[in-house]
A and B are shown apart, each in its own frame.
Chain A
Amino acid sequence: MATTRKASTQRKSSAAQKLALLIATRKGLWIMRGDSARRTWKLEGPKFLGQIISHAVLDPRDKRTLLVSASTGHLGPTLFRSTNAGRTFKECTQPPAFAKVPEGEKGRAVGHTFWLTPAHANESNVWYAGTSPQGLFRTDDGGDTWKPFSSINDDPQYREWMGTVQDGTPDGPKMHSIIVDPRDPKHLYFGMSGGGVHETLDGGASWKVLIGGMEVVEGFGFDPKLPTFHDPHCLRMCPSNPDRIYQQNHCGIYRIDRPSDTWVRIGRAMPKKVGDIGFPLVVHPRNDKTAWVFPMDGTQVWPRVSPDGKPAVYVTRNAGKTWQKQNSGMPKSQGWWTVKRQAMTGDVCDPVGLYFGTTSGAVWMSRDEGRQWSRIAEHLPEIYALEAAVL
């Protein structure tokens, strides 16, 4: 691994940015375009009405290529591709698909592409995708054709760790949080729900497990050394310090500072009544000590709602030593929605804008790093993913 050094990040004022929010929902894609002050937003859509959109991502390298992962309950999955920032789309020629197994063997079929990550800035047209059932894929042509990573998808050890479609989250286990080190295009991370956190230094030819310090569900005798028992929900690398990664896990909030191989549970400092279970996590674009989470009720049967019906974001400004509640503008009671893994994000403006989409179809935003929140869209379908794209 490269030695620790801060990646340079250009500080831009909010006035210089024009943003679009890509709202992936259970019933289609909506796009909200904002003015340069982030005060007025125009909702466009739906696109792909009726299709389950798991993720929609605009390529920050060209600001034109937009990939959209789509499926329905009754048709096979596909990807749609725009080369004009979402004005028109064309279906990709070869969506992510597992390798065909020999006759007589039982092979896997991609249910949906869950996660999309543009690759390194120097690798234009390269993207990575994570699927359910869990698989890792790569495109070299901007998303038109995809190839599977045999080193993960067909590896017996990885197949054992990732389990079967019966294991994992309610609508299938997910490969997610594919992260590219901005200093090295061959240095990647990803998370498997379940199956742990993994890292490659050689572009995916070989992988190593990165689960030291991560806890497992207590009381069942699970061995914490086995990736099978680990369920990372979301990993985010700090743009200002790529050696620092925050993680929201099934068993708490963690931070790791490479080259250490040990995660530190920083969620212990969260209020006991709220706990440190949740799905999304956002990091500050310029300050590696600041991160935000959206806690969820993970007690008993896992209601997957805001704890006690009181939705709130929590922020740390000291790398997890302490956390503060940020719920000004949100309902103070009887707010039973929550925020899914990919449905909370931030922009690169100063101050940072934060955005989340709820399971009840509303989009909330804060222009001041979480101090004040307002609802900028409502009555949409259940929101699966939200990305803030610079146009």
Chain B
Amino acid sequence: MKVLIPDALLSYTQNRRADAGGATLSELLDDLERQYAGIRFRMIDEQGQVRRHIRIFVNGKQVNNLAQPLGVTDDVVIVQALSGG
């Protein structure tokens, strides 16, 4: 399925849209990690929690549970709030 990647992670994918697969959100993130080493830890911490400034939407609905089942036609959007200054 197509995954929309935020600007701050383009250094990993080089493309706004990445192709990745998985039966759950966690598997999809694992597939992204296989293709783009390092990208998962920058979104998901070691306790399996979505990091504070990351939001993941599946078909327009925000998802925090990495066990969320996914279908092959689902639309996944990763959004990232900016912070700093």
CA A100 – CA B49 in complex, angstroms?
A: 11
- Complex: chain B residue closest to A50, CB-CB: B84
Instruction: Select A74's contact among B45, B48, B84, beta carbons within 8 Å.
Output: B84
Q: Is A279 an interface residue (CB 8 A)?
A: no
Tell whether A109 pairs with B47 under 8 Å between CB atoms, given A75-B8, A91-B38.
yes
Q: Is the CB of A109 within 8 A of B45?
A: yes
CA A76 – CA B47 in complex, angstroms?
A: 12
Instruction: Select A75's contact among B43, B48, B49, beta carbons within 8 Å.
Output: B43
How many pairs of residues, A versus B, come closer than 8 Å at their CB atoms? 63
Q: What's the minimum C-beta distance from B38 to chain A, rounded to whole angstroms?
A: 4
Chain A contacts for B13, CB-based, 8 A: none
Q: Is the CB of B8 within 8 A of A76?
A: no
Tell whether A72 pairs with B51 under 8 Å between CB atoms, given A97-B41, A100-B46.
no
- Complex: chain A residue closest to B41, CB-CB: A76
B: interface residue count bin: 20 to 34
Instruction: Select B41's contact among A52, A72, A95, A101, beta carbons within 8 Å.
Output: A95
CB neighbors of B among A51-95 (8 A): 52, 72-76, 78, 91-93, 95
CB neighbors of A among B8-46 (8 A): 8-9, 37-38, 41-46
**A159-176 near B? 1/0 per residue, CB < 8 Å:** 000000000000000000
Tell whether A74 pairs with B53 under 8 Å between CB atoms, given A100-B48, A109-B47, A110-B46.
yes
CB neighbors of B among A94-109 (8 A): 95, 97-101, 106-109
CA A239 – CA B45 in complex, angstroms?
A: 38
Instruction: Select A109's contact among B43, B46, B81, B84, beta carbons within 8 Å.
Output: B46
Q: What's the minimum C-beta distance from A143 to chain B, rounded to whole angstroms?
A: 14
Q: Is B82 an interface residue (CB 8 A)?
A: yes
Q: Is the CB of B82 within 8 A of A76?
A: no
CA A308 – CA B42 in complex, angstroms?
A: 42
Q: Is B73 an interface residue (CB 8 A)?
A: no
Q: Is the CB of B84 within 8 A of A73?
A: yes
**A103-142 near B? 1/0 per residue, CB < 8 Å:** 0001111100000000000000000000000000000000
Tell whether A100 pairs with B47 under 8 Å between CB atoms, given A73-B53, A95-B41.
yes
Chain B contacts for A91, CB-based, 8 A: 37-38
CA A99 – CA B37 in complex, angstroms?
A: 20
| Interface of chain B, main secondary structure | loop
Count of chain A residues with a beta carbon within 8 Å of a chain B beta carbon:
22
Instruction: Select A93's contact among B8, B37, B43, beta carbons within 8 Å.
Output: B37
Instruction: Select B46's contact among A52, A73, A93, A97, beta carbons within 8 Å.
Output: A97
CA A98 – CA B47 in complex, angstroms?
A: 8
**B47-65 near A? 1/0 per residue, CB < 8 Å:** 1110111100000000000
CA A110 – CA B49 in complex, angstroms?
A: 12
Q: Is the CB of B42 within 8 A of A78?
A: yes
Q: What's the minimum C-beta distance from A215 to chain B, rounded to whole angstroms?
A: 35
**B62-85 near A? 1/0 per residue, CB < 8 Å:** 000000000000000000111110
CA A95 – CA B37 in complex, angstroms?
A: 12
CA A107 – CA B48 in complex, angstroms?
A: 10
CA A198 – CA B31 in complex, angstroms?
A: 41
CA A310 – CA B84 in complex, angstroms?
A: 29
Nearest first, the 5 closest Cβ-Cβ pairs linking A and B are A73-B83, A109-B45, A74-B53, A97-B46, A73-B84
